A and B are shown apart, each in its own frame.
Chain A
Amino acid sequence: MATKKRPGHRKNVTSKQEATSVAKRSKPKRRGKARNRGLVTRKNLEESTTLAIIPANRALLTFVSIFLRAPITSIYQLAQIMRDISKTQTDDASQSTLPNTAEYLLYLLLPRKDRESIIGDLYEEYPLVVKKFGVKKAKLWVYRQVLCSAWPLIQKATKWGLFAWIGEWIRRRI
Chain B
Amino acid sequence: MSEQKDYLGHFEEIVLLGVLKLGSDAYGAKIRQLVSEATERDISIGAIYATLERLERKGYVGSWQGEATPERGGRAKRYFKVEGAGVLALSNTNAARSRLTAGLDLGFNLG
Interface residues of A (CB under 8 A from B): 97-98, 110, 114, 116-125, 127, 144-145, 148-153, 155-156
Contact = CB atoms under 8 A, between A and B. Distances in A.
Interface residues of B, number: 22
Contacts of B68: 120
Given A121-B32, A121-B45, A149-B44, A116 B50 contact: no
B28 A117 contact: yes
Contacts of B49: 114, 117-118, 149, 153
Nearest to B44: A148
20 contacts: A97-B73, A114-B49, A116-B75, A117-B27, A117-B28, A117-B49, A117-B76, A118-B28, A119-B73, A119-B75, A120-B28, A120-B77, A122-B45, A123-B73, A125-B29, A125-B33, A145-B45, A148-B47, A151-B46, A152-B47
A129 B32 CA distance: 14
Contacts of B44: 144-145, 148-149, 152
Interface of B: 27-29, 32-33, 42, 44-47, 49-50, 53, 68-69, 71-73, 75-78
Nearest to B73: A123
